[in-house]
């Protein structure tokens, strides 16, 4: 099946306007491509709530830092389009960097208080790049609902806040993390790992779940997070950027859960990959 593909903003907007003129609800699934089952879960969630679904593929250069994997990030447009078509998606939006960031582009989108911690601190400028590109995609598509995975909870929180603050009418919907049979959160970067490294990566979920349980049971978050970080290094991870317990809505750093909605977050390194995950504490 050949799926409808938009290369320009105007072509996408024209089709979205035509769909909406007949009363159809439009869903948007922003991605960087190299799609896996987690992305397809977003497409299926969109199909369950809307009538037409557009999946975007754009490897956004502004969210990559120096010495990160921008140049080597897999480009798999043909297979990605086939996967979306097989799932029932209706269209793809695949803009060029020149279209997204034309000569003279100089606007930044910064969400104070949510982008300077976790991955925002570990990867300076990363969350600002995410905020920038997602704001553009939301404004370009004029979708009714946009779908994002909960694996990157910080990203989801930032996007919800910017949509509210900037009066963007698109509803932001989080979709639960998809995991393999051993609990490893699916990620495009899992493909960088060999078999031994995958076995190590699968320990992240186990260690985080234990720390979340111990915090919910009354443990001091800073102590349990330190224990988890040591356990991760002992399990074979080559580095730990952070293990932290934070408020699920404000991302405020917490020492005790005390009945609040909070999550434990981690970013780790194994082999050539940097992986993130998070779990609900209580």
pLDDT tens digit sequence for 193-222: 999 999 999 999 999 999 999 999 999 999
Residue 157 has pLDDT above 90, yes or no: yes
128-140 pLDDT, tens digit per residue, is: 999 999 999 999 9
Residue 25 has pLDDT above 90, yes or no: yes
Average pLDDT estimate for 143-156: 98
Q: Of these residues, 39, 90, 126, 279, which one is catalytic?
A: 39
Class of the 188-280 domain?
alpha beta
Average pLDDT estimate for 160-186: 98
Class of the 4-175 domain?
alpha beta
The pTM of the full predicted model, rounded to 2 decimals, is 0.96
Within the chain, all domains assigned CATH 3.30.1300.10 are found at 188-280
Within the chain, all domains assigned CATH 3.40.50.620 are found at 4-175
Q: Is 39 a catalytic residue?
A: yes
Residue 1 has pLDDT above 70, yes or no: no
89-142 pLDDT, tens digit per residue, is: 999 999 999 999 999 999 999 999 999 999 999 999 999 999 999 999 999 999
* DSSP, residue by residue, the chain: -PPEEE-SHHHHHHHHHHHHHTT--EEEEEE-S---HHHHHHHHHHHHH-SEEEEEE---GGG--TTSSTTTS---HHHHHHHHHHHT--EEE---HHHHS-TT-------TTTSSSTHHHHSTTHHHHHHHHHHHHHHHH--SEEEEETTSHHHHHHHHHHHHHTT--SEEEEEPPPB-TTSPBP-GGGGG--HHHHHHHTHHHHHHHHHHHHHHTT--HHHHHHHHHHHHHHTT-SEEEEEEEEETTT--B-S--TT--EEEEEEEEETTEEEEEEEE--
Cα(178)–Cα(41) distance, integer angstroms: 8
Average pLDDT estimate for 2-15: 96
Average pLDDT estimate for 151-170: 98
Give me 190's structure tokens.
């899992």
Residue 2 has pLDDT above 90, yes or no: no
What is the band of 189 on the pLDDT scale with cuts at 50, 70, 90?
very high
Residue 195 burial (10 A CB sphere; 0-12, 13-18, 19+): exposed
The predicted structure's pLDDT at residue 17: 98
Orientation angle between helical segments 126-141 and 9-21, nearest 10 degrees: 50
What is the band of 264 on the pLDDT scale with cuts at 50, 70, 90?
very high
Looking at every residue in the chain, the average pLDDT score rounds to 96
């Amino acid at each position: 099946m050949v799926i409808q593909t938009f290369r320009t903003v105007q072509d996408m907007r024209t089709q979205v306007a035509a769909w909406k003129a007949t009363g159809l609800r439009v869903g948007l699934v922003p991605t960087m491509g190299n799609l896996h089952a987690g992305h397809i879960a977003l497409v299926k969630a969109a199909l369950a709530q809307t009538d037409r679904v557009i999946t975007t593929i754009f490897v956004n250069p502004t969210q990559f830092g120096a010495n990160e994997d921008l140049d080597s990030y897999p480009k798999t447009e043909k297979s990605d389009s086939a996967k979306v078509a097989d799932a029932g998606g209706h269209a793809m939006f695949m803009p060029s960097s020149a279209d997204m960031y034309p000569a003279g582009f100089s606007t930044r989108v910064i969400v104070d208080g949510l982008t300077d911690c976790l991955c925002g601190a570990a990867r300076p400028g990363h969350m600002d790049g995410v905020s920038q590109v997602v704001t553009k995609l939301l404004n370009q598509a004029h979708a009714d609902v946009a779908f994002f995975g909960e694996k990157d909870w910080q990203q989801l929180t930032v996007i919800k806040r910017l949509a509210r603050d900037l009066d963007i009418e698109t509803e932001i919907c989080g979709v639960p993390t998809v995991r393999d049979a051993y609990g490893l959160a699916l990620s495009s970067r899992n493909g960088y790992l060999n078999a031994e490294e995958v076995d190590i990566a699968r320990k992240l979920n186990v260690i985080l779940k234990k720390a979340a349980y111990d915090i919910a049971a009354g443990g001091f978050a800073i102590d349990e997070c330190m224990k988890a970080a040591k356990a991760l290094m002992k399990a074979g991870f080559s580095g730990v950027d952070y293990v932290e317990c934070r408020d699920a809505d404000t991302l405020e750093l917490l020492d005790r859960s005390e009945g609040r909605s909070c999550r434990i977050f981690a970013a780790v390194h194994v082999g050539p990959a940097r992986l993130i995950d998070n779990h609900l504490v209580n």
